[in-house]
Structure 1
Amino acid sequence: MKTEKFQTILVSASILGLAIMFGCAAFQDAIVPCYISPDALDYADANATTFLPWTTLFDARRIDRFMDFRHLWIQAEDNLQYNFLKGLNAFHIRGSEELKTILFSPTGPIGLAFPALAGGALGTYLFSKPKDKRKIAELEKENKK
């Protein structure tokens, strides 16, 4: 009977000891103090402590998760903005390249206008007008006087 009672007490004490050991292990992070940078708190946009007046290892790991989440969120927003602006810029570049192709092609306005302007300038240089002949004649008369 003593052995049964002793075995019962031993088993109960072992179970209680294991419960205390594992229970304390679960609260180790919540008890151990840990410094958290104010910059990290600002970046994470979270409270420093949860239930103790000092910052603990549990709080530091919680802030670390908040920082990871915020970083991913900022990265996702930045990727959205980058992709939108990159696509918008590519759209405008494509439009400008099409306009350049239209303007400077041989059948475009500049491709047609440049030879016409060059021909017109050459024609005005080579061929004089009747008014010009009169002006030249008047200038020659004045120079002879």
Structure 2
Amino acid sequence: MNITFFQYLTSDIKLSELLDHYPYKNKLKIFFGRTQAFSEDQLNEKGNFIDYPYIVYNVVPMSQREVANEHRVQVTLVTANDIQLNDITNRLIELLDFKKKVNDRPSNIVDNQIILNSQLMTGGSFLFHENEKVFEQNQYFLITLKG
């Protein structure tokens, strides 16, 4: 599921452009579990990742059946400004909430894995970190894959 989710998100050109995510340039902005820096300019003096915006996601299996597997996916978005946060959040919801009618969503078949359904569970939390001057938003999605 981790690879499927990563490939699904990175297959969307709009999201990649909003995040400035270009794997072929070692400019990754979508991470599983935690951020990973490829150059010193992505880190501050404390060693914290500062190449905004970026997404970190975590996947928790909820049920596994013969027909379908359900996973809860937590998506954490970190940006340097609220306009960017809003634009990326809207695109994530278009991509990951299949109840929304969207014409330019990527294929739900990723590397022979079929995403049967995806829906927003909760909008999660919205934080502004005063010391770092960054915005953070957590969202939770329920994603069902064909078993």
Q: Which has the larger radius of gyration?
A: 1
The one of the two structures with greater contact order (alpha-carbon pairs below 8 A, sep at least 6) is 2
